Structure 1
Amino acid sequence: MPSAVPPAGALPDPASIRLSVAPMMDWTDSHCRVFHRLLAPSARLYSEMVHANAVIHGDRTKLLAMDPVEHPVALQLGGSEPAQLAQAARIGAERGFDEINLNCGCPSDRVQAGRFGACLMREPTLVADGVAAMIAAVATLDRPVPVTVKCRLGVDDDHEYERFLAFIDAVADAGCGTFVVHARNAWLKGLSPKENREVPPLRYDWAWRLKRERPGLQVVVNGGIATLDDALSHLAHADGAMLGRAAYHDPYTLHRIDAALRGVPLQPRDQLLGSLRPYAESQLAQGVPLRHISRHILGLYHGQPGGRAYRQVLSEGAHLPGAGWALVEQAMAATVRAAAAA
Structure 2
Amino acid sequence: MSGENDTSLEGFILLGLADTMELQIILFLLFFVIYALTVLGNVGMILLIGTDSRLHTPMYFFLANLSFVDVCYSSAITPKMLADLLSETKTISFTGCFLQLYFFIALATTECILFGLMAYDLMAYDRYVAICNPLHYPLVMNHKICVQMVVACWITGVPVETGQTYQIFSLPFCGSNQINHFFCDIPPLLKLACGDTFLNEMLVFTVAVLFVTIPFLLILGSYIKIISTILRLPSATGRTKAFSTCSSHITVVVMFFGSAIITYLRPKSKHSSRADKFLSLFYTIVTPMFNPMIYTLRNKDAMMALRKLVDPDLAEVGRLTDCATQAPPFIHF
Q: TM-score range by the shorter chain?
A: under 0.3
Which structure has the highest helix share of the two? 2
TM-score computed with the length of structure 1 as normaliser? 0.25
TM-score by length of 2: 0.26
Structure ID, larger Rg: 2
